[in-house]
Every structure is written in C-alpha cells, then in structure tokens.
Amino acid sequence: MSSEVGDAERALHRRMGLACAAATAAGLPGRFRVWEHGGLLAVLATDPALGFLSTVSGVTPETLPALDGLLAEPGWDPTVLTTGDEVPEGLVRAEDRLLAVRRLGEPPAADPGVTEGDVVDVLLAGYEVTGVVAAFVAAEHRVPAMRRFLLVEGGTPIAAAGMTVHGDVAVLGGAATLPAHRGRGAQPRLLRHRLRVAADAGCVLAVATARAGSVSAANLGRAGFRRYRRSAWTKP
C-alpha cells in the first residue's frame, strides 16, 4: 500500500468515527464501533440497514496476520477492503469499491453559486433514502466538524455536499443532486469548490470514495483524482 493510500484510509476511518459517534448520540438502532486492531482499521454497524458500513481496511502484508483475530470477534460480518495484492484467507470476492485520491496544488477558482448551509434536506432528497439510512446521513452531516456546501440556482438549492478535514487530509463525502437537476454539472462544481476550500485550509491531500463505474467515479477522474480499486472480500 502506498503512503498516499494509507493516509487516505486513515482519514476515512477518522471520518467514520465522527459519523458513528453522531449516530450513537442520535439514538440510531444497533451498535456502532470504530477501532484499530493490529494496524487494521475496523468499523462495526450492527443494524442490517447499515451493514454496508461494517468494513476492515488498512490491509497490508504487515497487518494481514491480524485479520483472522479481528474477524473472529462475534456479532459482525464486515467487508474487507484491500488495495494491494493481499488475498485474505477463507474469504470470497464481493463487489469492488473505489478510493480516489488527489494531491492538492493550485486551487480552482471560487464558484459564486456555492454557499454554506444546512445540506440535510437536499442530500436526503438527492439520495432518495428513508428510514435508518436517512437518519444516519442526517446525523453524519450535522456534526460540528462537517463543512456543508449547497449549490444554489435561481435562489433554490439544487445539490449539496460535505467535507471534513483530518490533519492535512480532506475527506470529500456526502454529495447528491436533486433528481430534476441531474446531468447539468452540479457535482463537478461542488467538487471543485471543496478542493479550493481544502487547499485554503492547508490540506495537501483530498480523498473520496465512489462506486466503480459510476458517474461519481468519472467525475473524480476528470477532476484529477487517482482512482484505486479496492478489492472487497466477505465471509462465504
């Protein structure tokens, strides 16, 4: 694993720590835990609707021996994410995920259509989610450390995105556009704006995740992100 990927995964892990703490404080169902074990980065969410959050990352040749002990802990069935050639013993492949990383240099120009404000309503409408998932998204994007951005057209917010800063790494997460306004470049604009804010905050690295082959993944590539495919592994 490159140092760039390692820094990115640790920043994502800290972001998940904020999100899970907020979910616990909001009284969401199930149990949340974010911890390290033998250099591995682990996340637990026991409610079935949030099972996609349960992951193990930070897998390297040095940390791989600790994986068996971690997976033996009762009460969870995580997805193990690897970015190198590691093959976890006894696991089978699942749908890969994408990690995108960009070194920050000269920041893009400011976007006059982007403002800061409460993004929750726009995000939930853009994601088209309800129930526990919606409650988790709302809790995550109301933590004090979250920077919240709205793209406004004609006085109406049409897209939203979030960002947190962890040391000198910015995690760009939580981006959605209202269905009626998709395909018009809203997310690239919010992406460029957050890169500027991150650079102004002294960050040297920006990190995001996306589904492989998605529009979001394509937008990240066009914005200069190096995209790493994360091999996903689960218990048979």
Give the start-to-end residue ranges of the domains of the chain. Answer: 3-98, 103-226
pLDDT at 1: 61
- Say which amino acid occupies 92: V
Per-residue DSSP letter, 78: P
pLDDT at 108: 83
Strand 147-153 and strand 114-116: the pairing is: antiparallel
225 in Cβ contact with 172 (< 8 Å): no
Distances (CA, A) of 214 to 86, 98, 209, 217: 25, 10, 11, 5
pLDDT at 168: 97
Q: In degrees rounded to 5, what are phi and psi of residue 143?
A: -70, 145
Cα–Cα distance, 103 to 145 (Å, whole number): 22
pLDDT along the chain (236 residues), means of 10: 90 98 98 96 97 96 94 89 91 95 90 96 97 98 97 96 98 94 95 96 96 91 95 94
* CATH code of the domain made up of 103-226: 3.40.630.30
